[in-house]
Structure 1
Amino acid sequence: MTTTAPERSDTLTRAADTLIRDPRRLRRGLGWLLVVVLVIVVAGAGLVLTMPSSAQHETYDPELPGPEGTQALAEILRQEGVTVDVVRSRSDAEKLLDDRTTLVMSDPYTLSDSAAQAFVDRAHDVVLLTVSARMLRILALGSYSSASSPARAAADCDVPTFARVGSIAPGQLLRPDPGVTACFGDRSGAAVLLSDDGARPRAIVDGSGLFTNARLSENGNAALGLALLGAQPHVVWYVPSYADSDRADVDPQKSLADLTPGWVTPAILLLMITALIAAVWRGRRFGPLVAETLPVTVRASETMLGRARLTAKAADAAHAAEALRAGTITRLAKHLGLAARADGGSVADAAADRIRVDRAACRTLLTGPLPATDAALVPFARSLTDLETAVEDAVRIERSTRD
């Protein structure tokens, strides 16, 4: 079959007409949006400077659900019937201490040596969850050990509550003083040191790899925590804070604004005011639309013919066929009362039912393979035209009959 030049030009012209879309105009408020974003960024920077720094988070906090907290261990104690009181003031903790209470804490770094000594002396049982040379000396338990930590260690000591703990992966090893019991290791280095001085038990352990929320479920860590902290029916868990310090060399925790020069905050405020003034000064004013005469008028037909020539020059029959099919589907959907974005299969079924033809033939035309050559493009376009004409005639006849 030979394709004539007029037929090809008409087919490509219709394809280009279907491809033409009205360009969407960008919103004129884009400039204002950029200004607002800039102001928000500057304001956020100012808030960061004035808010307290959160770079340092308290570890071993029984109310902290993060990986470094110990909330899971506190909940296990409560499930086992142990009352757990979390306090952040030394005076409040001292009021709760009695002979049936275990004092649990990390290194009270905000307290002086004398204050820390007086604090632990008021407690009946003491469990320290972090290791420091100062607290080892105050509790008279031992010193750091230079021995390397084994991958696994069992209790290996005469402490009945550790019988069911199993093995743990110890952290920092400690060398016990005379009269101090070493567990989960030996006299050269153990993970847990315990002392019973006049029925006042003291214990110290490196809990960083044992009792945090991230590590509690490993090995026998939970059982060890319950054995150490659950000996008494009441636990007072003291969380050190700078506000509770009695040391002259420890200042309360400062915000980032306290650590920056005094001129930074006024400079940020000045920048914010400058940005706002610039936005009002240079921002786009929105008023009524003004009709302007275009310097050049380009008819739609010229654009359509130009695109048709480009498509013909490229010899892209499949692209032209796809455009023709898309336009036909859109117009058929409108005639048949379907949604504007109805797929080809739905349109084909509706069109076949309306003109009473085979559904498979309509589906092949509207959803099947596209022609790859100019010779196949022309009959394909004619078939689309015939289908569209038949549907239009059927719809017109139904409307006239109904009227």
Structure 2
Amino acid sequence: MSAPATVSAPPTTAPASTPRRRRIGVWIAIGVVLLVVGAGGAALQAASQWAQREALDPESAGPAGTRALAEILRDQGVEVVVARDRAAATRALTRGPATLVLPDTPALSDDGLEALIDQATDVVLIDPRARTLDLVLPGATMAGAAPDAVVLPDCDSGDAERSGGIAPGALFSPGADTSACYPVDGGFGLLVTADGERRAAAVDGTVLFTNEHLADDGNAALAVNLMGRHPLVVWYQPGLGDTDLADTDPTLGELTPPWVSPVIVLLLVAGVAAGIWRGRRFGPLVAEHLPVTVRASETSEGRARLYAQSRDVVHAADQLRIGALQRLALLLGLGAGASAAEIADAAAARAGMDRGRVRALLIDEIPARDAELVDLAQRLRLLEDTVHTRVRPERNP
């Protein structure tokens, strides 16, 4: 009868895939971080672009936008065209009688602004500044701001009378042949001038026509009365690059060659890749056993032999004195800031020796030969023994 065969199980080993999984996890984490940073940058860029477009923008539904007014005009049968550059605005104005709604345009020259205004039948300034006031309504100027209170029209303008009271915001001083409504402290909240079939008006739309305030008082009625006289409203909302000023300072992007930005991006990517490739990978701590242990006496003897070979008697004497001064200072209870002279005087007083001789021994004497160095070492040792005997007599036989 044969004995049953036994099969031995192979020895178990630690899984070799753990380091690989760890490396894969690191790369996944790096990818997630890059995606999060990219998404955050895109969100910030979109937010900044939205903030730039929001103020008085007829396509913005934010508090400072004017989308509600644009929708009201469309409900009244008025076509609203949003033009974000002068070319689009000029094309829209050539279609027939139209009202040009004009915010502040600091990027346009006087000639460019006048050429745009000449194409329109009516012009409504919704964010007037001193320059645009003088161009559109000659002689008109800024006159401060009104308190937050409702003011009645008090003028012969039918549009203002039908609208009722408003809280005007900015105030203006009229020029010649200009109708002024909503008087407050010598200024007016609405200026209107007519030249035949053409009409120009100035009003602070930033506090009257925005989505946040359009439903207050007579704001919506005034906006529709001023802008809805013609079947077409061209709302000019200029972008940052829409300018005809020839003497504008170039931006940093315009000054740099076109290849600079791709090179910078490439260098950043290369730097990140090099950091990942050559970066220190911290693993578990490893105990390192030193091969030998060197005693302090051997170190001192080796240093002494180096001094002897170099024939540097003065350096050796200085090292002997420094050691003696440190031990004497500790023995005499002096602080770390005590000078060599103070230590020498204290040692002389405690040992009952001449202060000049002790100072010469610890500071002044300069040995010239090896024999003098040996004598100096012996006298330093004798001084230390004497001070030690005087300080701690009970520890001496």
TM-score scaled by structure 2? 0.55
SS at match of 2:133: helix
Residue in 2 that maps onto 1:268: 268
Q: Read off the aligned partner of 1:127 and give its amino acid letter.
A: V
Structure 1 stretch 231-240 or stretch 88-97: which is displaced more?
Answer: 88-97
Partner of 2:136: 139
Give distance in 2, aligned partners of 1:54 and 1:254: 19
Instruction: Give per-residue Cα distances to partners, 1:276-318, cap 9 Å, x unaligned.
Output: 436xx8789xxxxxxxxxxxxxxxxxxxxxxxxxxxxxxxxxx
1:112 corresponds to which letter in structure 2? Answer: S
2:210 & 2:261 partners in 1: Cα distance? 38
- Give SS of 1:164's match: helix
Q: Which residue of 1 aligns with 2:211?
A: 213
Give the corresponding residue for 1:349: none
75, 84, 93: which one aligns with 1:97? 93
**Offset at 1:242?**
3.6
Q: In the alignment, what sits opposite 2:115?
A: 118
Could you list the per-position Cα deviations for residues 199-246 of structure 1 after superposition, in whole angstroms to 9, with x for gaps in the alignment?
A: 310001111111111221222211111111111121111121244311
Partner of residue 347, structure 1: none
Asked if 2 retains the 8 angstrom alpha-carbon contact of 1:176 and 1:187, the reply is no
Within 5 Å, which residues of 2 pair with 1:146-225? 146=144, 148-185=146-183, 188-225=186-223
What is the match of residue 129 of structure 1?
126
Q: Check conservation: 2:180, 2:188, Cα contact below 8 A.
A: yes
Query: Could you tell me which residue of structure 2 aligns to residue 277 of structure 1?
Result: 277
- Partners of 2:252 and 2:195 in 1: how far apart? 40
Quote the Cα distance in structure 1 between the aligned partners of 2:196 and 2:184: 24
1:261–1:48 Cα change, 3 Å: farther
Following TM superposition, by how much is the alpha carbon of 1:104 offset from its aligned partner in structure 2, in angstroms?
1.0
| 223 and 40 in structure 1: CA distance in 2 versus 1, 3 angstrom threshold | same
**Are 2:55 and 1:70 equivalent residues in the alignment?**
no
Say if 2:30 is the partner of 1:35. yes
The separation in 1 between residues aligned to 2:45 and 2:231, in whole angstroms, is: 43
Residues 43 and 272 of structure 1 are in contact (CA less than 8 Å); yes or no, is this contact kept in structure 2?
Answer: no
Q: CA deviation at 1:251?
A: 6.5
In the other structure, the counterpart of 1:232 is 230
Matching of residues 360-379 of structure 1 within 5 Å: none
Q: Is the 1:149–1:173 contact (alpha carbons within 8 Å) kept by the matching residues of 2? A: no
* AA at the equivalent of 1:154: L
Three-state SS of the structure 1 residue aligned to 2:206 is helix
Structure 2 CA distance for aligned equivalents of residues 90 and 82 of structure 1: 21
In the TM superposition, residue 47 of structure 1 has moved relative to its aligned partner by 6.6
- Determine the structure 2 residue equivalent to 1:354: none
Q: Distance in 1 between matches of 2:248 and 2:213?
A: 31
Deviations 1:139-165 (A, max 9, x none): 125101146435111211111122332
Residue 96 of structure 1, CA deviation: 2.8
Report percent identity of matched pairs: 38
- Listed as ranges, the gaps of 5+ residues in structure 2 are 1-21, 283-397
Number of corresponding residues: 257
3-state DSSP class of the match of 1:54? helix
Checking the alignment, whether the CA contact within 8 Å between 1:174 and 1:192 is kept in structure 2 is yes
* Relative contact order higher in (CA < 8 Å, ≥ 6 apart): 1
When residues 268 and 121 of structure 1 are mapped into structure 2, their CA distance, relative to the original with a 3 A threshold, is same
CA–CA distance in 1 between the matches of 2:64 and 2:251? 20
- Cα distance change of structure 1 residues 244 and 156 upon mapping to structure 2, 3 Å threshold: same
Q: Write the distance in 2 (CA, Å) between the matches of 1:50 and 1:222.
A: 33
| Structure 1 runs not aligned, ≥5 long | 1-26, 285-403
User: Aligned with 1:227: secondary structure?
Assistant: helix
Per the alignment, residue 54 of structure 1 pairs with 49
Cα distance, 1:93–1:205 mapped onto 2, change above 3 Å? same
| CA distance, structure 1, for counterparts of residue 89 and residue 40 of structure 2 | 39
CA distance in 2: counterparts of 1:43 and 1:268, whole angstroms: 14
Q: RMSD of the alignment, in Å?
A: 3.9
Q: Is the 8 A contact 2:137 2:200 kept in 1?
A: no
AA matched with 2:73: L
Q: 1:71 to 1:44 in 2, by over 3 A?
A: closer
- Paired amino acid for 2:244: D
Contact 1:46 1:268 in 2 (8 A): no
CA contact (8 A) 1:124 1:201 kept: yes
Q: CA deviation at 1:125?
A: 0.5
Write out per-residue CA displacement over residues 236-270 of structure 1, whole angstroms, 9 at most, x where no aligned residue: 11121244311124469888xx8x99986455323
Report if the CA contact (8 A) 2:146-2:168 is conserved.
no
Alpha carbons of 1:244 and 1:197: their partners in 2 closer, same or farther (altered >3 Å)?
same
Distance (whole Å) between structure 2 residues aligned to residue 87 and residue 182 of structure 1: 29
Task: State which of 243, 246, 249 in structure 2 corresponds to 1:245.
Answer: 243
Matched, 1:79 2:75: yes
Larger radius of gyration: 2
Instruction: Please give the alpha-carbon distance, in whole angstroms, between the structure 2 residues aligned to 1:230 and 1:191.
Output: 19
Separation (CA, whole Å) in 1 of partners of 2:50 and 2:268: 22
Secondary structure of 2:68 counterpart:
helix
Q: Assess, with a 3 A threshold, how the Cα gap between structure 1 residues 265 and 44 changes in structure 2: closer, same or farther.
A: farther
